[in-house]
Amino acid sequence: MAGYSRAKFPHWISQSRKGAGCDTREVVLARDGRNVTRDEECKAISGSWRSLYDNRTYTRAASVDIDHMVPLANAWRSGANTWSTQRRRALANDLTRPQLIAVSAASNRSKGDQSPDQWQPPQRSYWCVYARAWVQVKKCYALTVTAPEKKTLATMLDTCR
């Protein structure tokens, strides 16, 4: 973790081409929520969010975190330490791949920067989707996978049916 800092992954950047408007967090809240309404600053002020990690529903945006599927610290340990700031920004704000997901703050904080061999979603029925998403992000960004991580991912992928 030598040299790691979350600040090296600029996140929650504006998603407007002109530099103002909704940031990445607000875009994910709107995408993953139901009946989301926003204020004039694009902040979610109402709606509901189902956390797929623990199968709980929340009606306050403040109770929901945006999880980086592959945590930024894990990405750092897996190869992002050699990247440019621009590439780290791309990973931290990736709306194209399954890198960002709205989940309960409790489950996101429980996960922290752990890999699948250290943490799995409590909702076992989500393991297949989680493992597929993890693999897709790691592959897209050419990040390394440890042997214990690979073994656990295989177990999680075995739940796909």
- Three-class SS string for 62-77? HHEEEEECCCHHHHHH
Name the band, by pLDDT with cuts 50, 70 and 90, for residue 69.
very high
pLDDT reading at 13 higher than 90: yes
Helix (H, G, I), strand (E, B) or coil at 23: strand
pLDDT, tens digit, 9 for 90 and up, residues 118-160: 999 999 999 999 999 999 999 999 999 999 999 999 999 999 9
Exposed / middle / buried, residue 20 (Cβ in 10 Å: 0-12, 13-18, 19+)? exposed
Helix (H, G, I), strand (E, B) or coil at 111: helix
Across the range 24-28, mean pLDDT stands at 96
Lookup: tokens for 136: 């897709």
- Rounded to whole angstroms, the Cα distance separating 68 from 102 reads 9
pLDDT reading at 18 higher than 90: no
The Cβ-side half-sphere exposure at 127, using a 13 Å CA radius, reads: 18
Average pLDDT, the chain: 95
DSSP designation for 43: -
Q: What is the Cα gyration radius of the chain?
A: 16
Q: What is the pLDDT of residue 1?
A: 73
Please state the φ and ψ torsions of residue 17, each to the nearest 5 degrees: -60, -25
Name the band, by pLDDT with cuts 50, 70 and 90, for residue 17.
low
Lookup: tokens for 84: 């440019």
pLDDT, tens digit, 9 for 90 and up, residues 70-84: 999 999 999 999 999
Q: What is the pLDDT of residue 160?
A: 97
**Choice between 161 and 18, residue whose per-residue pLDDT is larger:** 161
- Rounded to whole angstroms, the Cα distance separating 106 from 66 reads 11
Q: What percent of the chain has pLDDT over 90?
A: 92
